[in-house]
Amino acid sequence: MGKMYVVRHGETDFNVQGRYQGNLETQLNDVGKKQVGDLAKVLSKYNLDLIITSPLARTRETAQAISQFHAVEVLIEPPFMERGVGVFQGLTREEIKMKFPDLWEKNVIKLYNDAPPGGESIRQVEERVVRTLLELKLKYPDKNILIVTHLFIARVIYMHFNKLSHDTASAYLLKNAGMDTYEF
């Protein structure tokens, strides 16, 4: 049986500012670059067969730092891209409360079958991520795979492997440049 390592990208300025990044392109900041450099050194001792990353810059930069220690293929997989949060992207919670008070009051970001306008529901994200995990399991049996992704996607993966509801898993937080390990 292989292992799946799930890594969250390093810190960005949007993380520090408390902004919803969603599918926006943001770069690692200096702290984030140091975080992924430190993580890459730790992971240099791991036996990886494949690295998979979201297509967004912050995850690709993280994957690149890790891949320098491994002679393995790095695949870009769009299903591991962060949840699209539509009109909330780029905004802080306070800005959302001011611009979209009805949506904030409804707590639309946490509803399983609903989403901010232009965004994805939790259900939609869960379906694309779980489908891709199952495809990877079939395509790469007994391999050690590292996935570089985002907080919400890491939460969905955590939810899947631990057989939790989205309500139960909603408090789960993988820190920037943090890693989870699963039997795969």
144, two tokens: 């050690």
95 is in an annotated binding site: no
* pLDDT for the residue 172: 94
Which residue, among 50, 54, 49, has the nearest Cα to 76 in the 3D structure? 54
9 annotated to a ligand binding site? yes
- What does the alpha-carbon distance between residue 119 and residue 98 come to, in Å, rounded to a whole number? 19
The parent domain of residue 26 ranges over 3-183
Nearest CA to 19 out of 5, 7, 34, 29 is that of 29
14 marked ligand binding residue: yes
Residue 156, domain CATH:
3.40.50.1240
Q: Which residues are catalytic?
A: 9, 82
pLDDT score, position 113: 93
Which pLDDT score is estimated for 1?
87
Tokens of 10: 């390093």
Distance, CA of 50 to chain centre: 17
Q: Is 12 annotated as a binding residue?
A: yes
Q: Is the pTM of this model over 0.85?
A: yes
CA angle 106, 112, 114 (to 5 degrees): 55
User: What local confidence, expressed as pLDDT, does residue 122 receive?
Assistant: 95
- CA pseudo-torsion sign 23, 28, 31, 33: positive
Domain tally, the chain: 1
Give mean pLDDT in consecutive 10-residue pieces for the chain, a chain of 184 residues. 97 98 97 98 97 98 96 97 98 98 94 95 97 97 98 97 92 96 94
- pLDDT at position 184: 85
How far, in Å, CA of 19 to CA of 100, rounded? 15
CA angle 162, 18, 16 (to 5 degrees): 100
Tell whether 10 is in a known binding site. yes
